[in-house]
Amino acid sequence: MLGNLPWMTCLLTLLLPAALWGQSQGSISFSRGSFLSPDYNLTDTREFNYLSGRFSNSPGPAQSSGFFTDMELQLSPGVPVLSYLNPAEFYWKSPLFAQDQSLSLGRRRYTWSSLDERWGLGLFQPQFRWNPISPESQGMTGLFWQTANRKSQMPFSILLFASPFFVPDQGAGYEIENGTFAKSNPYFRTPPSQARLRGQTDAVNYSIEKPDTLDVVQNNSLAAEVQLGNPTQGIYFGTSLAYKPSNQLAMAFQGYISPNSSVEVQVLPAVYYHTLAAGDLGYASGNSKIGIGFIQETPIDPKYSSEWTYIKYSASQMVSPYLALDFRGVLTEVSYLKIQGAEESITGPMSGSATTLLPSRYSFGNAYALSVKGTLIRWQQNQLHAEAKYQRGERGEFNHWLGQLKILTRKDWSFALNFDFIAIDDSEASKKTLAEKYQNNDSIALGVGYVF
């Protein structure tokens, strides 16, 4: 318990402002999660306990300046690798020259592309990937300038972003013990325990060469967005451009057979850049909305020396039409994603052994999605809130159900049931999806929380 004392101090520090800032909200919760699949083997135990705290505040209608944040801290007693701090947003906002212009400094979330956010691709903004198959967006870090006029006949907004710093995705924690990845985190994708090298298949010992922190952090980012029209009524259009590091680092490896016949593999992460061009076109009327989004991604090859083996990614084009309907406070949305291009070529002296050691660019290919979110029942100031999402590969190679049922009481208490189920078929297409790596991670979690 004493080992968690620094984390508990952080938790109290995180929640303290909720009692001091009038327009803020804090929450604390306890939950217990269980993995259900009989084939689950990513950790030695199937059940985990979590103590979580969250603090957030956002600009109100009449609040033009101030410090705003959205942070979450989780403790997992006895399993420190599952504890985390998720600083999704923390920024200072102030008006600039006129009330319709603002300047923000720090980490801030925006919807640069509805396609990117809807499908959780993490192309523009970094992601919190504690659970990789259910990532959450985090803000980019830097300087934001925005101007908007929502009252004119043609409402518009312009957003510019620049930064000399880069913060990549925040992934699941891991531990290495005696050259192998420890079975301590159910959400860490463990590399193969065996590999074939120069005609020989043996156990693998891993070592990770961590790049210098400054080599990762000191990378420039530029982005711009223009929106025309009102997204809640009539026709609207938006476009975004960006030149920035990819939020997912490139991975390269080199290996050799040791005198004791084990395969020694060195892994080297590296930053690489890509350019992004995105667009959104839609029409909203009453309680319905229809639209289409697209993204063009052009990766720039990472800079590795000749002894490393890595993947080169080609340019890709993504298109996603969607239809949304809000009926009595319950929002239902159906969408489709088509990805073209995104070809992968392995280069390096060990390219023949790389297919099982290096990750694919995207978590899945073409897919369908259905989501539902809203309050189902209200009684005596209590509510039953539901949120669910279903994704299916175009060829049925994977199915993913994710959701939450939550009872919100008038006394600021809440009771939640979370579920996460995955199914894949036995095909080559399924092996290229992230779901295949977590096919035995079916889970449910029960929790109780308090909001103040």
Tell me the sheet residues that pair with 323: 290, 334
Q: Residue 397: its pLDDT value, please? A: 94
Q: Residue 293: its pLDDT value, please? A: 97
- If we measure between CA atoms, which residue out of 153, 165, 267 comes closest to residue 210? 267
pTM of the model: 0.89
- Cα dist. 301→33, 110, 216, 218, 361 in Å? 40, 27, 16, 18, 13
Q: Residue 15: its pLDDT value, please? A: 47
Q: Residue 199: its pLDDT value, please? A: 63
Give the three-class secondary structure for 353: helix
- Cα dist. 381→384, 406, 412, 414, 452 in Å? 10, 14, 11, 13, 17
pLDDT along the chain (452 residues), means of 10: 47 47 78 92 88 85 77 90 92 82 94 96 96 94 91 87 95 75 80 64 76 91 96 93 96 75 80 97 94 97 90 94 95 97 86 67 93 93 95 95 94 94 90 88 96 86
Cα-Cα end-to-end distance for the chain: 26
Note the pLDDT tens digit of each residue in 329-384.
899 999 999 999 988 888 888 777 655 567 778 899 999 999 999 999 998 889 99
Burial class from Cβ neighbours inside 10 Å (0-12, 13-18, 19+) for residue 239 reads middle
Q: Residue 195: its pLDDT value, please? A: 63
Tell me the sheet residues that pair with 156: 149, 228
Give the three-class secondary structure for 41: coil
Between CA 326 and CA 338, with CA 332 as vertex, the angle to 5 degrees is: 130
Give the three-class secondary structure for 23: coil
Do the Cβ atoms of 72 and 26 come closer than 8 Å?
no
Tell me the sheet residues that pair with 142: 106
Q: Residue 346: its pLDDT value, please? A: 86
- Cα dist. 159→112, 125, 215 in Å? 9, 15, 28
- If we measure between CA atoms, which residue out of 168, 164, 358, 173 comes closest to residue 268? 358
Instruction: Tell me how far apart the alpha carbons of residues 150 and 416 are, in angstroms, rounded to a whole number.
Output: 38
- Cα dist. 445→190, 199, 407 in Å? 23, 45, 14
Instruction: Tell me how far apart the alpha carbons of residues 146 and 158 are, in angstroms, rounded to a whole number.
Output: 6
Residue extents of the structural domains in the chain: 97-301
